[in-house]
Amino acid sequence: MVPIPFLQRLHQTLLPDYNRRAAVFWWLTVSAGSVGIAWALWSLARSPADQVGQVVTGILLAVAAAFFPIVLPRTKSAFSAGEVFIFMLLLLHGTHAAMLAAAAEAAVASSRVSKRWSSRIASPAMCALSIGVAGTLLQLVLAHLDSIGLRSSAVVAIATLWAAIVQFLINSVLVSSQLRLKRGERPTWSDVAGNFGVTAAVNAASACAAAMMAITFHATGLSTILVVGPPLALLLAILHAFFKQQEANRTIAEANAQAARREAEITVQHLQEMHHIAFHDALTGLPNRRRFVEELAKVVQRAVDDPQHGFAVMFLDFDRFKFINDSLGHAAGDEFLQLVAKRIASRVRPDDLVARLGGDEFALLLRRAQPEQGVVELATRIQEAVSQPYRVAGTEITSSASIGITVSTHGYDKPGDVLRDADIAMYRAKATGKARHVLFDSTMHTEIARRMRLEGDLRRAIADGALEVAYQPILDLGDERLLGFEALARWTHPEFGTIAPLEFIAIAEESSLVVQITDLVLARACADLRRWHAQAPHWTGLRLHVNISDKDVAQRNLPQRIRSVLFEAALRPEHLVLELTEVILMRRLTTEGQVLEELRQFGVGLSIDDFGMGYSSLAHLSSLPIDSLKIDRSFIDGLTTRPTDAAIVRTILDLGRSLGRQVVAEGIETPAQLAALRALGCTTGQGYQLSAPLTAQAVDLLLERMDLRGAHSLADGLADPARLFH
Ligand code: C2E
Ligand code: MG
Ligand code: MG
């Protein structure tokens, strides 16, 4: 398009982003403007010297004014006092003078607002062209008015005003066309109309003022201009400063408003974060108890308003979480909970809410009405999902959940009641064998009420020393020689009668009362054993087995407690065997292991109770600080009827032999079981077949009788079944 290499390079530098049409327009405008300016210069060169002086002065004044544009607040429009000089030059010296002034003024103004040379060049060219056309038209009109004798000051002023409007229009068309073409759009008249505002009016007024000044100049010479000029310049300067200040104020106000908006945004964001923290569990990212109760409250209210809107709540508790935490550490426990949370969340509908209530407790809110069957099926699916193996801390583990379920048909009006009942049902699930789900029914309330009553009564019974201790003989299965006793707590409730130890020990374990029970049993049993030792020299070998709980091992002072109770009863450590469950023993690997180690060093015997029911890894067994294993009652129960149980008993006996640990069989109920154990080489045992647990007085009597008869077989001593504890 541009043949000459220099112009091509110029084109590249000036208009790299111009499309073809925009570039053609630019080059045409600039060329036409340049021709106009060249003609104007040529015309000026031919003018008389005094006129050249005036023209140059006018141009310089227009240029000077361009340095102080009056920017109209809230618009992008500006005008400069230069317009007045341009139109004065037009009227006094002709179009060429005005073109030069307009081009010079535009060059300064555009350099101030634009960094692009394409604009800095096009702008003077456009101004020269627009004033050139408008000026020529004005000259023609004025010449015509002259010829018909209509020229007067007012007519000149009006004609100049119109010339200013024409000039503004032409300039607007050129500028907006250039912009539109550059954006690849078609120029529109509405652009020009849109521009035609305050600036056009100010331009027209400037032209009018210029006309008046030109007329005055004609009539009175330079003097009036010199008098009017300075106040006019002052007025314009004040306007310039005033508008500039206004613009600055506006910019500050806008910046402030923006800062305030940003601050508000940050506050909202912060609030949202706080809200998230307050209503979510940090570990799993699931909603927390607070959020769950809030949502549950809404759903309960909805069901109160319209019983058609049924809902269901599930309460989940993991059966082996404590074990995972204890044996693999808390980091593994956390990892497990995260995996579990994902599995549960992936099994429910988007409408349901899964929350972590704390520890290993999760809750599910099924917001939509569901038939009970659907809820139970979902519980089964969740149970299946969570019982798949997990990989945690490099180890594969399995777990299961006990789930309590309640549904809106119980007519709840408080979210707390819903959670309470789901919790009760969950407890029932745990108590009836774990890894199952139980639907709440209202009879469970009676159970809970009993439980709470028992807890209070148990506390009182302990304080009053109303608990008793029963002693179940432990015998050598070969010759039925008495080796010692297992001390078992007994509680006779004033109203409910005998309470099974499994029931009250479970209550005591939950409320930490169990530590006081241990102390009570230990103190009584040690004192009794001491008495029995004193009865005859051959009884000094009798040992005492005492059950201790998880909560006891968690107490750092357990070894001191044991030491002082033995000291008080003047017994030696080897007279005492502590029975612990497998889970407690696994703690040897963690913090509380120290307590067990200390006890063992002291010389107290340690035995694993209910062996085979827990999770003891056989690999760990050889390194555990224990000296005996007690085969769980359930295996003895099936010993003569279930081959698998017989195999397990045999394996445990082999294990004991190869690890050098004594094996005790508990719960021997029949002669057949006793015979089978003897045949398998089991040397030690206890059970109703041999003797039920006895009161202390019954043991006193038993030992006396055995001494009297010189018998060492228990059967000879046992009589008076009324004194026995069952
Ligand atoms: P355990 O330590 O395994 O105690 C043996 C349980 O088996 C005793 O139940 C005993 O009465 C029962 N038993 C004995 N021989 C037979 C038999 O031939 N057949 C059957 N079916 N059962 C037999 P008990 O006294 O009801 O105690 C139950 C559990 O309560 C105990 O199981 C122990 O874990 C816990 N426990 C009892 N007393 C205490 C205590 O003082 N402290 C703690 N921490 N736990 C205790
Ligand atoms: Mg026991
Ligand atoms: Mg046991």
- 23-32, 133-142, 152-161, 463-472: least confident range: 152-161
Half-sphere exposure of 342 (CA within 13 A, CB side): 8
Give the C-alpha separation, 684 to 673, whole Å: 13
Whether residue 437 has pLDDT greater than 90? yes
Whether residue 700 has pLDDT greater than 90? yes
- 400-404, 492-496, 708-712: least confident range: 708-712
**Ligand sitting nearest the alpha carbon of 611:** 3
CA of 385 to the centre of ligand 3 (A): 32
Q: What is the average pLDDT across 301-320?
A: 91
Q: Which atom of ligand 1 is nearest to the CA of 725?
A: 11
Q: What is the average pLDDT across 411-425?
A: 93
Distance (Å) of CA 493 to CA 431, 462, 500, 649: 22, 12, 10, 37
Q: What is the pLDDT of residue 567?
A: 96
Q: What is the average pLDDT across 330-345?
A: 92
Identity of residue 28: L
**pLDDT grade, residue 711 (50/70/90)?**
low
Q: What is the average pLDDT across 277-292?
A: 88
Q: What is the average pLDDT across 573-594?
A: 77
**pLDDT grade, residue 726 (50/70/90)?**
very low
Identity of residue 402: S
Question: Mutual orientation of helices 330-347 and 321-328 as an angle, nearest 10°?
Answer: 140
CA of 223 to the centre of ligand 3 (A): 126
- 86-90, 195-199, 354-358: least confident range: 195-199
The tens digit of pLDDT for each residue in 160-181 reads 889 988 988 898 888 888 888 8
> For the chain, what percent of residues have pLDDT higher than 70?
92
Q: Residue whose CA is closest, atom 19 of ligand 1?
A: 667
Closest CA to 100 of 140, 143, 70, 57: 57
**pLDDT grade, residue 314 (50/70/90)?**
very high
User: Near ion ligand 3, which residues have CB within 5 Å?
Assistant: 609-610
Q: Which atom of ligand 1 is nearest to the CA of 552?
A: 44
The tens digit of pLDDT for each residue in 89-146 reads 888 889 999 999 999 999 988 888 888 888 899 999 999 999 999 999 999 998 888 8
**pLDDT grade, residue 38 (50/70/90)?**
very high
CA of 528 to the centre of ligand 1 (A): 19
Q: What is the pLDDT of residue 136?
A: 93
Q: Which atom of ligand 1 is nearest to the CA of 689?
A: 18
**pLDDT grade, residue 616 (50/70/90)?**
low
Higher-confidence residue of 559 and 268: namely 559
Q: Which atom of ligand 1 is nearest to the CA of 500?
A: 26
H-only helix segments in 311-409: 321-328, 330-347, 372-386
Q: Which atom of ligand 1 is nearest to the CA of 472?
A: 14
Among 467, 486, 488, the mutation site with the greatest number of ligand 1 atoms within 8 A of its Cβ is: 488
**Ligand sitting nearest the alpha carbon of 501:** 1
Neighbours of 233 (CB within 10 A): 15
Give the C-alpha separation, 296 to 415, whole Å: 6
Q: Residue whose CA is closest, atom 23 of ligand 1?
A: 667
pTM (2 decimals)?
A: 0.55
Q: What is the pLDDT of residue 723?
A: 41
User: What mean pLDDT, rounded, does the chain reach?
Assistant: 87
> For the chain, what percent of residues have pLDDT higher than 90?
46
Q: Is the CB of 610 under 6 A from ligand 1?
A: yes
Q: What is the pLDDT of residue 592?
A: 60
Among 547, 562, 607, the mutation site with the greatest number of ligand 1 atoms within 8 A of its Cβ is: 547
Q: What is the pLDDT of residue 76?
A: 62
Whether residue 392 has pLDDT greater than 60? yes
Q: What is the average pLDDT across 23-45?
A: 92
DSSP-assigned letter for residue 441:
-
> Which run of H or E residues covers position 480?
none
Q: Is the CB of 632 under 6 A from ligand 1?
A: no
Give the C-alpha separation, 526 to 484, whole Å: 12
Q: Is the CB of 580 under 6 A from ligand 1?
A: no
Q: Is the CB of 579 under 6 A from ligand 1?
A: yes
Give the C-alpha separation, 139 to 135, whole Å: 6
**pLDDT grade, residue 720 (50/70/90)?**
very low
Which is it for strands 497-499 and 482-493: parallel, antiparallel or unpaired? antiparallel
Whether residue 574 has pLDDT greater than 70? yes
Q: What is the pLDDT of residue 487?
A: 98
**Ligand sitting nearest the alpha carbon of 472:** 1
Residues 6+ apart with CB under 8 A from 43: 94, 96
CA of 672 to the centre of ligand 2 (A): 23
Closest CA to 645 of 686, 614, 676, 689: 676
Give the C-alpha separation, 297 to 20, whole Å: 68
Residue 674 in contact with residue 700, Cβ under 8 Å? no
Whether residue 21 has pLDDT greater than 60? yes
Q: What is the pLDDT of residue 225?
A: 66
Whether residue 461 has pLDDT greater than 90? yes
Q: Residue whose CA is closest, atom 46 of ligand 1?
A: 547
**pLDDT grade, residue 149 (50/70/90)?**
confident
Q: Residue whose CA is closest, atom 2 of ligand 1?
A: 547
Residue 204 in contact with residue 163, Cβ under 8 Å? no
**pLDDT grade, residue 189 (50/70/90)?**
confident
Q: What is the pLDDT of residue 725?
A: 47
- 2-16, 41-55, 634-648: least confident range: 2-16
Among 610, 640, 666, 673, the mutation site with the greatest number of ligand 1 atoms within 8 A of its Cβ is: 666
The tens digit of pLDDT for each residue in 620-659 reads 677 778 889 999 999 999 999 999 899 989 999 998 998 8
Half-sphere exposure of 579 (CA within 13 A, CB side): 22
Buried b (16+ CB within 10 A) or exposed e, 266-302: eeeeeeeeeeeeebbbeebebbbbebbbebbeebbeb
- 40-49, 80-89, 349-358, 681-690: least confident range: 80-89
The dihedral built from the CA positions of residue 577, 583, 585 and 590, taken in this order, carries a sign that is: negative
Q: What is the average pLDDT across 48-53?
A: 86
Q: Which atom of ligand 1 is nearest to the CA of 508?
A: 44
The tens digit of pLDDT for each residue in 225-242 reads 677 677 777 777 787 788
Q: Is the CB of 667 under 6 A from ligand 1?
A: yes
Q: Residue whose CA is closest, atom 45 of ligand 1?
A: 547
Q: What is the pLDDT of residue 540?
A: 95
Q: What is the pLDDT of residue 590?
A: 57
